[in-house]
Homo-oligomer: A and B are copies of this chain.
Amino acid sequence: MHQKILIIEDNNDIQSLLFDVLSKNYLIYKALDGISGINQFNEVKPNLIILDLMLPQINGESVLKIIRNQSNVPIIVLTAIQNKTTTVDLLRDGANDYLTKPFDIDELQARIEVQLRKETNSEDNHIIIYKNISLNSQTHQTIANNHELNLSKKEFNLLEILLSHPKQIYEKEQLFQIIWHEEYFDSSDNTLNVHISNLRRKLFAATAHNYIVSIWGIGIRFD
C-alpha cells in the first residue's frame, strides 16, 4: 500500500512523464543525477527504483552497483537502444528488469507491478498493527486500545498511510497526493489540517495519547 518509487533520471521530460503517470498509484521521489539518487535512496528507502543508465557525472552502472551493494530493493533500468551495456551485464550487476527507450509507459507499469508484487504477496496486506492500534482495510475496522474507532473515509485513509510507515515523516504535499489524487499548490488549504485534527481527537479519546506529531514546516509522523 502506498509504496515508494525513486526515479533516477536526468531527462526532465521523462521525469515528468513518469511522475504524472506513476504518482496516481505510488509515492514518487525524484533524483536528477546519480549522487543525489544514492543519497535519496538512503533517506527515502524506496520500495523500487527506476534508474536511467545515461546519467551525468556518475553513470548508471555505478549507481546500480553501489545501491545493490547495500540493498536488495528492486531496480528497473532504462537503457537507450544503442547502449553497449548488455542485458547480461545489467542483470549480473543486480538489475531486476530493464526497458529500452523509447519504452511503453504501460509496459513499465506492468513491470513495476511484477517487481512490487514479490514484496507484498507474502504478507496479508490488509491488516496493519502498530502498538495498540489495528486497522483492517477490508472491513474498515479500526481498533485503538481496544476501543473501536468510527473513522470517516479521509480519516481512515490518513491513518492507513501514517501507520504503513510509522515514524516516517510525511509531507503535506505527499499526503495530499495520496489521499486526494491531486497535487496541492495552494498551501493555504487547510482541509488536511482539519482531518488531522479530527483524527487526533478520535485517537486521543481512545488512547489518551497523541500519536501524530508535527514536524514544523515539514509534515507529520506517527510515533
Q: Is A101 an interface residue (CB 8 A)?
A: no
Tell me if B70 and A121 are in contact (CB < 8 A).
yes
Counting contact residues on chain A (CB < 8 A from B), the size range is: 35 or more
Stretch of A11-19, A134-142, A175-183, A201-209 that contacts chain B: A134-142
Question: Please, how many angstroms separate the alpha-carbon atoms of A39 and B215 in the complex?
Answer: 35
Tell me if B110 and A35 are in contact (CB < 8 A).
yes
Tell me if B218 and A110 are in contact (CB < 8 A).
no
Question: Please, how many angstroms separate the alpha-carbon atoms of A221 and B139 in the complex?
Answer: 8
Q: Is A147 an interface residue (CB 8 A)?
A: no
Q: Please judge, given known A-B contacts A34-B106, A106-B34, whether A70 and B138 are in contact too, CB under 8 Å.
A: no
- Chain A positions near chain B (C-beta within 8 angstroms): 33-35, 38-39, 42, 57-58, 62-63, 66, 69-70, 104, 106-107, 109-110, 113-114, 117, 121, 138-141, 152-153, 167-169, 215-218, 221
Can you pick out 20 interface pairs between chain A and chain B where the beta carbons lie within 8 Å of each other?
A: A33-B106, A34-B110, A35-B106, A35-B109, A35-B110, A38-B110, A38-B113, A42-B117, A57-B104, A58-B106, A58-B110, A63-B110, A70-B121, A138-B167, A139-B167, A139-B221, A141-B167, A152-B216, A153-B217, A153-B218
